[in-house]
């Protein structure tokens, strides 16, 4: 018995250790989880990123303004932990600028969009390289789909349903980094959702690059076998899921039928995140967005009419080339008068190989930063107003799994963040509460609702 245990211990100790760091969106986290599962199936042991590992995998992002700087910092950190460790870069930035990443001191391997899910095939030799090896591709070759999901903090899962984008927004590199729009099969999405439910996870967040385009490329062709509405209808029927949340969805793809379904659903929560990017029709046209402010306003008003308590988040870009002071003020006033709940503000930054990088009328950085600060201030005001509108209402809270300075946090179904003194028993539980007041940190305190 003892010898058997010892042999098992020796076997485990011989496993190569791998650690992951993910930059960027929820979709990246989902894909990191898929790669991690492949690594574990190949007999690697997954360890925390701060631990000593034989292999460090960095899943990169091209959206963040300081992608290159952030990547170098992370690589440097791995070398401090273990200077002999093998470092691999995958993800969007690895597809867009593979040679630049390969030249970073400490990087051994860079895999583009078609190869990131074949990482294990490149790890037979973990010898450190003088210059990183690159296995990239023309993005047109990234026409296949790999599904998966990631589970975060034991309470929610990010379920990938779609990848790539066929839109040609003039500021965006995502089509260059991820390729054409393509979808998981409905059958596989439902299978993954059932797997997640069987693990006791209470909430699923649907993720992708352009999830409203779901169904395109589902079976390797451009035709829609299913639509996004078919997807949400089918997911609603999966047993064992407490909450389903739609992540960012384009306003022109958020149809009335989906809003109607969410308004009547027991599982889809009243929370939408709808990119706007600009409140100026002139700027929207230069961005090559597929809507104008009139359609956007209609989507917000339709949601509010059906679900007055709904939380609505907005993406907005400031400082796009040609954005005048008047254009910015149009954006500010448009957002200020809409019934939205918070903003994700992005300061425009030039991206190689985009149409916008060659546009004239460049907005000075100081002006971009000033406008960004103004909208971030507006976001604080909007979130506060939304939270205040929810005080003295009854909501359900799903509690997170992390002890933050003696408190446990959670979110209501309509995305109000709450806090209460830490109690491990509450982790991954749902409670009915009455929202009471807002504390100095801008979080909401509550009282439990006593059920008779």
Kindly report, residue by residue over 271-293, the tens digit of the pLDDT.
999 999 999 999 999 999 999 99
Round to whole Å and give the CA distance between 46 and 202: 24
What average pLDDT score do residues 242-257 get?
A: 97
For position 74, what pLDDT does the model report? 95
Query: Domain boundaries in the chain?
Result: 2-137, 143-269, 305-390, 394-448
For position 107, what pLDDT does the model report? 96
Handedness of CA 98, 101, 105, 110 (dihedral sign): negative
For position 5, what pLDDT does the model report? 40
Domain 2-137 -> CATH class: alpha beta
For position 274, what pLDDT does the model report? 98
User: How far lies 251's CA from each of 212, 245, 313, in Å?
Assistant: 9, 16, 12
Round to whole Å and give the CA distance between 343 and 376: 7
- Percentage of the residues of the chain whose pLDDT score is greater than 90: 85
For position 136, what pLDDT does the model report? 79
Among the residue ranges 126-135, 156-165, 191-200, 208-217, the one predicted with the least confidence is: 126-135
Question: CATH number of the domain at 143-269, out of 3.30.750.210, 3.40.630.20, 3.40.50.300, 3.40.710.10?
Answer: 3.30.750.210
For position 14, what pLDDT does the model report? 80
364: confidence class by pLDDT, cuts 50, 70, 90: very high
What average pLDDT score do residues 311-327 get?
A: 98
Give the tokens for residue 122. 């490149």
- Percentage of the residues of the chain whose pLDDT score is greater than 70: 96
pLDDT one-digit tens code per residue, 43-81: 999 999 999 999 999 999 987 667 778 899 999 999 999
Q: How many CB atoms lie within 10 A of CB 127?
A: 7
For position 62, what pLDDT does the model report? 82
Round to whole Å and give the CA distance between 325 and 370: 11
Q: In the predicted model, is pLDDT for residue 143 greater than 50? A: yes
Q: In the predicted model, is pLDDT for residue 4 greater than 60? A: no
What average pLDDT score do residues 309-335 get?
A: 98
* Pairing verdict, β 311-318 and 342-347: parallel
Q: In the predicted model, is pLDDT for residue 6 greater than 70? A: no
Among the residue ranges 134-143, 163-172, 385-394, the one predicted with the least confidence is: 134-143
Say if 143-269 and 305-390 have the same CATH topology.
yes
249: confidence class by pLDDT, cuts 50, 70, 90: very high
Q: In the predicted model, is pLDDT for residue 13 greater than 60? A: no
What average pLDDT score do residues 322-329 get?
A: 98
Question: CATH number of the domain at 305-390, out of 3.10.20.580, 3.30.310.220, 3.30.750.200, 3.30.930.10?
Answer: 3.30.750.200
For position 130, what pLDDT does the model report? 86
Report the chain's mean pLDDT, rounded to a whole number.
Answer: 92
For position 219, what pLDDT does the model report? 77
What average pLDDT score do residues 104-127 get?
A: 94
For position 3, what pLDDT does the model report? 37
**Terminal alpha carbon distance of the chain:** 53
What average pLDDT score do residues 34-46 get?
A: 95
């Amino acid at each position: 018995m003892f010898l058997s245990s010892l042999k098992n211990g020796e076997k485990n100790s011989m496993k190569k250790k791998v650690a992951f760091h993910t930059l960027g969106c929820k979709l990246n986290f989902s894909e990191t989880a898929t790669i991690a599962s492949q690594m574990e199936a190949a007999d690697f042991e997954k360890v925390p990123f701060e631990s000593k590992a034989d292999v460090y995998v960095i899943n990169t992002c091209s959206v963040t303004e300081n992608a290159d700087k952030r990547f170098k910092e992370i690589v440097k950190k791995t070398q401090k932990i273990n200077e002999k460790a093998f470092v691999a870069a995958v993800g969007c930035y690895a597809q867009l600028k593979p040679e630049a990443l390969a030249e970073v001191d400490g990087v051994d391997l860079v895999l583009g969009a078609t190869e990131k899910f074949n990482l294990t095939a490149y790890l037979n030799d973990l010898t450190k390289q003088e210059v990183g090896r690159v296995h990239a591709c023309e993005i047109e070759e990234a026409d296949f789909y790999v599904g998966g999901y990631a589970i975060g903090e034991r309470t929610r899962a990010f379920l990938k349903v779609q990848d790539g984008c066929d839109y040609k927004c003039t500021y965006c590199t995502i089509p260059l980094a991820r390729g054409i729009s393509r979808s998981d099969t409905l059958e596989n999405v439902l299978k993954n959702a059932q797997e997640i439910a069987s693990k006791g996870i209470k909430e699923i967040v649907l993720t992708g690059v352009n999830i409203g385009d779901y169904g395109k490329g589902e079976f390797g062709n451009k035709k829609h076998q299913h639509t996004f509405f078919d997807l949400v209808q089918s997911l609603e029927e999966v047993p064992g899921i407490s909450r389903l949340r739609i992540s960012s969805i384009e306003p022109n793809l958020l149809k009335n039928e989906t809003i109607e379904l969410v308004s009547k659903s027991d599982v889809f929560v009243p929370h939408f995140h709808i990119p706007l990017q600009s409140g100026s029709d002139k700027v929207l046209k230069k961005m090559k967005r597929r809507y104008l402010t009139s359609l956007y306003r209609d989507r917000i008003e339709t949601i509010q009419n059906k679900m007055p308590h709904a939380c609505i988040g907005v993406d907005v870009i400031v400082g796009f080339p040609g954005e005048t002071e008047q254009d910015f003020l149009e954006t500010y006033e448009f957002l200020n008068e809409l019934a939205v709940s918070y903003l994700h503000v992005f300061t425009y930054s030039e991206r190689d190989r985009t149409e916008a990088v060659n546009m004239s009328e460049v907005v000075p950085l100081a002006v971009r930063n000033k406008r960004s600060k103004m909208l971030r201030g507006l976001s604080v005001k909007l979130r506060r107003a939304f939270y205040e509108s929810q005080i003295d209402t009854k909501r359900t809270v799903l509690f997170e799994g992390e002890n933050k300075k003696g408190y446990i946090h959670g979110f209501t179904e309509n995305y109000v963040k709450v806090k209460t003194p830490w109690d491990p028993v509450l982790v991954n539980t749902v409670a009915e509460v009455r929202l009471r007041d807002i504390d100095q940190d801008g979080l909401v305190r509550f009282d439990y609702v006593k059920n008779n």
